[in-house]
Amino acid sequence: MSTVYELAKTEFAPPATVEELRTYLQAALEIEHLTIPVYLTGLYSILPGTNAYGCEVIRGVVLEEMLHLTLAANLLNAVGGTPDLSHVVRSYPARLPFGAPSLPLIKLRHYSPEALKTFMRIELPRSLVPPDPHAPDRTWTSIGQFYGAVRTGLDTLEKAARKQNRTIFTGPAGRQLGPADFYNSGGEVFPVTGLRSALLAVDVISEQGEGSQDTIWDSDDKIFGEERQVAHYFRFKEIHEGRRYGKHDLPRSAPSGPLLDITWEDAYTIDPDAKLADYAGNPELHQRARKFNALYAFMMGVLELTFQGSPALMSEAVPLMLALRDESQRLYRNPHPKADLAAKGVHASPTYELDAKLFAQARAEAAQLAQKHAELAKLPAQTTHSSSPHSSSSHPSSPHSSSAREQPA
């Protein structure tokens, strides 16, 4: 059962105990994961060589969502929890956690105005959520509100613990990931070691998504010393509207900057409700779609072990995402096996389905990879140089091993 959906059924309130805080932070992991297949579908469905700005924006946001996922894991580990990726969304369409029940389901859509509307719905700043006069008191209204509750809980619980000469940050330091483990141009991972770094982690997650202090801008310039960017919601709105924001634009105004070259037709059209079962009548496509899901499950297993004390495995995440790109495009190049959809120009596509058996297999394969990393780490430097974990030979035998290294970035 997904932690985040169970939590969303409860009344709005900050976590009142450390155990509740761990539940909230597990839910945060699940929220950050939910976005990644959605955004990857939009990105990988773009025809190669087209929509350069859209590709750049969505790719950058995906890397920042990976940053958020990692910071959420650092937060959970810091307060003595254990990240568990078996609770993530197992299939799409999916409901948006902490949103109004009337909101449309989150579907896996190809690059299109509808996909960008979905992206914007996920990243909608809490200040732009329309009030619902019929909603009961203490109702969850947005993901931004959820992170506000997490921030309050961290602050309140740690200050209460300090009064008793204790701390809530009791997790093992060895599970924390830092800048040496993961870095991208939209910020870097940092260890969570106390209240200050914990609150900073929440701020990074919130402000990169919805903007800082009710502006269109994130806070990367203040936190990381990097050039500030418009936050995720507003980056997606730029693509949707076909125009950049100007430096004086406000959250409630339309973009007023330069026009963008957006060509919606330059994308593979896919079925947003596709399931693996749809390909049962075409053994070759069915096998390829299953292979994609197995590779996706393997990436999730690798990330879970990364967050549970094997930080060196983070080096495998981006190559695995590139392998997902290659496998997805092999599917996109085929017409949909249902004749009526194929006649409309619909293509086959990944389904991002995870079942218990697939995830258990992925965990076992990820454990083999972790063991290989541990063995390589014990070898002398001159030996490990030629047997780097970045080479395909370092992977355990699995159906995914070679594809993770097929093409460079």
CA distance 373 to 385: 13
**How far is CA 360 from its chain centroid?**
21
CA distance 325 to 328: 5
Q: How high is the pLDDT of residue 1? A: 63
CA distance 108 to 157: 38
Q: How confident is the model at residue 208 (pLDDT cuts 50, 70, 90)?
A: confident
pTM: 0.89
Domain boundaries, the chain: 3-241, 288-346+363-405
pLDDT digits (tens, 9 = 90+) for 366-393: 999 999 888 887 877 554 443 333 333 3
Q: How high is the pLDDT of residue 184? A: 64
CATH superfamily of 3-241: Ferritin, core subunit, four-helix bundle (1.20.1260.10)
Sign of CA dihedral 133, 25, 313, 93: negative
Instruction: Kindly write down the DSSP assignment for every residue of 198-226, as one continuous string.
Output: HHHHHHHHHHHHH-SSSSSB-SHHHHTSS
CA dihedral 6, 12, 17, 23 (to 10 degrees): 30
Diameter of the chain by CA atoms?
Answer: 69
**Which of the 8 DSSP states describes residue 47?**
P
pLDDT digits (tens, 9 = 90+) for 77-119: 999 999 999 999 999 999 999 988 888 999 999 999 999 999 9
